[in-house]
A = this chain, B = another copy of it.
Amino acid sequence: MEDEQFIRIKEEVLRRIRPPEDEVERVSALADSLITICEECAHELGLCVTCTLVGSVARGTWLKGDHDFDVFILFPPSTSWEELERLGLEIGRRAARKFASLYKGDAKVIERYADHPYIQLVFEDGEVDFVPAYRIDDASCILSAVDRTPHHTRYVLSHIAGREDEVRLLKQFFKAAGIYGSELKRRGYSGYLCELLVIHYGSFLECIRAMASWRRGTVIDIEGHSTKKHDEPLVVVDPVDPKRNVASALSLDNFARSIHRARAFLSSPSPSFFEIEEESLSIDPRRGTGLLALEFPRPELVDDVLYPQIYHAMESVASLLEREGFRVYSKRVGERDGYICMLFELEVWELPPIKKHMGPPVDLREHAERFLARYRDNPRACSEVYIENGRYCVDLRREHQRADALVAARLKECSLGKHLNEVLTGRAVVLFGEDVMRRGRVFRYA
């Protein structure tokens, strides 16, 4: 790639994604005041805690307009979990209210409980999460899931020096490819992972060049201190915790997609690689495939709880279809206005009234005789018991020749997950053919 051409692209993209001066100033002022307010509130309660800003705002790597604040309230490790939760939330609550009362504009305070409780403040400029955590010296000995975060921020701040824009380019590159974010819905690259890649490779362009030649099992160990074998497609050893893989959430397909996009960018660089395209669930009817959709109201769950269940349920429905002889050509999930849509594209929509049922080898006498006794005069059998490859077989009448009838009747048998079971078996609509496309077009690909 010509340097000049790339520099031009880089500048054009950065103009769109780099926060302008006034945003940077406003964000720093807000961040300062948030920390000050939070520490004051802790003081008022007579508590010995530190408040610290973490996340992309603290690291100076946020994308224009995308400045959410993460304020961590750090307790000494001697604090009990109950105390940390109670006192942490109390400080957060007070700080949020105080900030909201000082803030000129709309603001609301929400208490949230993921696997970690925290206070969320939503205001015009963005969101603030007040998160109670432990202050741990060694990041490999953390007590709660979020204790590592301040270490990450410290590490990035001391190594990123002047390459914030390179991180922004990488984040935007992944965003455009639909693989930014390590949430369980997305299974892509986290912000911290982007920062580490830039620290390791030195720049966006060097990172992309390396990525184009990545192989499954590539290991990046910046501090050279790995202590564990991982078998994910990409391994980026956490510089603050030698046994952790920062890229553990990255799926094989998203790993492959990043390689694909990196090569494509290198062979014909263009600003379009940084533009986000919206995808819909629609499928071209000229493909002549059979379409089956399951549409149901979204249960009130956070994505990280809901999406693993959705993916699991999709696999389970697909495997029911395959087991009964319907080949699943592709499957996707979309979301819209509180509704989820699972879409299955089938090679064949209808199967003959019979199916082959394989029995045991004829020479396993006990099993063989049991099979024969069951199917010799069985009303579902529509053939004699016959022999194929040394085994008994019989042709049985299918209960459902059509894929939609099969799914409607046997969805209950699928492993749908705790929270999906009810909506799927009780309130799901099974759609097929043109109905799917009429609705599918309005669903965005998840």
Contact = CB atoms under 8 A, between A and B. Distances in A.
Contact of A387 (B253, B353, B361): B253
Interface stretch (A270-278, A333-341, A388-396): A388-396
A390 B354 contact: no
B352 A233 contact: no
Contact of A256 (B289, B351, B390): B390
B362 A260 contact: yes
B362 A256 contact: yes
A440 B354 CA distance: 20
B256 A363 contact: yes
Interface string A281-307: 000001111100000000000000000
Contact of A287 (B329, B352, B361, B392): B352
A213 B361 CA distance: 12
A117 to B, nearest CB: 38
A325 interface: yes
A427 B354 CA distance: 33
A252 interface: yes
A9 interface: no
B263 A363 contact: no
Interface in A301-354: 325, 327, 329, 347-348, 351-354
Nearest to A388: B253
Nearest to A252: B390
A363 B215 contact: yes
Contacts of A66: none
Given A253-B388, A389-B253, A390-B252, A347 B329 contact: no
A135 B356 CA distance: 53
Given A253-B390, A259-B362, A363-B216, A325 B353 contact: no
A257 interface: yes
Contacts of A287: 352-354, 382, 395
B252 A389 contact: yes
Given A256-B363, A263-B369, A348-B348, A390 B213 contact: no
A268 to B, nearest CB: 12
Contacts of A174: none
A330 to B, nearest CB: 8
B253 A361 contact: no
Contacts of A286: 353, 382
23 contacts: A212-B365, A214-B363, A215-B364, A216-B363, A216-B390, A252-B390, A253-B389, A253-B390, A255-B390, A256-B361, A256-B362, A260-B387, A263-B369, A286-B382, A287-B352, A287-B353, A287-B354, A287-B382, A288-B352, A288-B354, A289-B352, A329-B356, A348-B351
Interface of A: 212-216, 233, 252-253, 255-257, 259-260, 263, 286-290, 325, 327, 329, 347-348, 351-354, 356, 361-365, 368-369, 382, 387-392, 395
